[in-house]
Amino acid sequence: SSVEELATELGVEAVTGDLEAGSFPRVGLRRPTWRRTGDSEVAVVIEWERSRLLTPGSNEWPYVGVRTRGDGWEGSERQKYHEALKPVRARLGGKASRPFPFWAYVSAESPLSPERVTHLCLKRFRELWDLASPVLDTLEHDRSAAPTGEI
């Protein structure tokens, strides 16, 4: 099952970024209700560093994450997402960083194959989607229901 097939199954949007070029290609999913303004968005993604993928050293593994992008993710807004996803980080062994309220490497044991790494990425991605999407639904509903300027 691919991310596009999963989008169809779940009735959500597939998102991509930097697949043809760029340092950090990504594929993922988001609900239309998670859209923000302009280029600002939140999505559940699989991402990797193109130049380091499967090369021993830092960032050799792809990772799954909840990624924020664009304006509006500073201060209390970012903190709210980081706090809300704390149980997801605990359950899946993830970390948080500036653009990622959740992220975790998807590593594989030898022997490595593209098929095995892809399978593990999709499995971890689905686990993350199942745990994080209800949290994001609540956060995005609260944000859209609040009077302008309160969140």
In tens, the pLDDT along 76-133 reads 888 999 999 999 999 999 999 988 999 999 998 877 888 899 999 999 999 999 999 9
Q: Whose CA is closest to 31, among 6, 9, 1, 11?
A: 11
Helix (H) or strand (E) holding 29: strand 26-30
C-alpha closest to that of 66 among 49, 50, 46, 51: 46
The whole-model pTM stands at 0.89
